[in-house]
């Protein structure tokens, strides 16, 4: 039974105060305790905010008001706690924030009645090794990207899967994506869309020198190792497009399936294929 819920929101959205007020009022009538992320509390003039990093340990569920980027950031904060997330989109329909503003009242009633469905999404663990030591560790929902700076030359990325040599990509970069992230940078780079329930990893080169280097899907339990070779250029590691780390020649990036999972509460009125059709304008002329 739901007893405590946390709320995060996109900063400075004009509708947030009214929506949060409605949510809090409905839950308080059911004696459900509400925790507001501290910047959200400050934005709407309340003084009882809670650090966003601390909320997942205190609640049974969280609501994210905003877009997919806001939800992805919250998913990383939740980490391995497996707290369900309700993503409410305050703009256009999102791939992850699929609950619309109009659907929110019905969704609140379903939550209170414990009548909702959850989509379980895999995440990635990434480690950066330098001279045999781990210098960076990240857990992400969408993707890991190795990318060169604006004026850098092509990167040489020797790539192995489960200790077996795959190929040495010569490209502007490389994307390792989850099925959830397949509709993001991976799709823009020519990679396939993968249904979220298919646990797999996608390896997609960015502008490869060899046109025969195509995206490849591997088992979700595979360990992908990328050794970087380049000279005095600017190369970055990026997780979910939100966290970054500058890479050096000889660094090794290791990516594998995480034990953490993101649990998304699904819309009661639309399915994944409807979201794809809407976001990608399929069927329009």
Q: Cα–chain-centroid distance for residue 33? A: 27
Residue 221 token pair: 């339990």
List b or e across 223-258, with b for residues whose CB sees 16 or more CB atoms inside 10 angstroms.
Answer: ebbbbbebeeeebebbbbeeeebebeeebbbbbbbb
CA distance 143 to 96: 14
CA distance 13 to 22: 16
Q: Which residue has the tokens 């591997």?
A: 218
- Among 157, 138, 148, 106, which Cα is nearest to 258's? 138
Catalytic residue (choose from 68, 172, 240, 251)? 68
Q: What is the residue-wise DSSP string for 220-268?
A: TT-EEEEEEE-SS--EEEEETTTEEEEE-TT-EEEEEEEEEEEEEEPPS
For residue 172, give the H/E element and its range. none
Please say if 15 is a catalytic residue.
no
Question: CB of 6 within 8 A of CB of 55?
Answer: yes
Cα maximum dimension of the chain: 62
CA angle 243, 206, 137 (to 5 degrees): 30
Q: Is 277 helix (H, G, I), strand (E, B) or coil?
A: helix
Question: CB of 175 within 8 A of CB of 148?
Answer: no
Which are the catalytic amino acids? 68
């Amino acid at each position: 039974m739901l007893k405590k819920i946390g709320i995060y929101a996109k900063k400075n959205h004009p509708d947030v105060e009214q929506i949060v007020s409605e949510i809090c009022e409905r839950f308080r009538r059911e004696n459900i305790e509400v925790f507001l992320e501290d910047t959200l509390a400050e934005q709407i003039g309340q003084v009882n905010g809670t650090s966003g990093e601390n909320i997942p340990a205190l609640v049974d569920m969280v609501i994210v008001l905003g877009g997919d980027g806001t939800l992805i950031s919250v998913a990383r904060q939740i980490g391995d706690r497996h707290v369900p997330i309700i993503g409410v989109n305050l703009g256009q329909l999102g791939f992850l924030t699929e609950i619309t503003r109009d659907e929110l009242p019905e969704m609140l009633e379903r939550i209170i009645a414990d009548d909702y469905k959850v989509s379980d999404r895999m995440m990635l663990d990434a480690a950066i090794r330098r001279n045999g030591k781990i210098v960076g560790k990240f857990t992400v929902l969408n993707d890991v990207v190795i990318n060169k700076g604006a004026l850098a030359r092509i990167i040489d990325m020797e790539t192995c899967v489960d200790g077996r040599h795959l190929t040495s990509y010569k490209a502007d970069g490389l994307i390792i994506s989850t099925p959830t992230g397949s509709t993001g940078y991976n799709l823009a780079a020519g990679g396939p869309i993968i249904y979220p329930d298919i646990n797999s990893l996608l390896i997609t080169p960015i502008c490869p020198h060899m046109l025969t280097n195509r995206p490849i899907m591997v088992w979700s339990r595979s360990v992908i190792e990328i050794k970087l070779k380049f000279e005095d250029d600017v190369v970055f590691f990026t997780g979910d497009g939100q966290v970054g780390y500058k890479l050096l020649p000889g660094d090794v990036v290791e990516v594998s399936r995480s034990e953490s999972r993101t649990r998304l509460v699904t819309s009661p009125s639309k399915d994944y294929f409807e979201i794809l059709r809407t976001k990608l304008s399929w069927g329009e002329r």
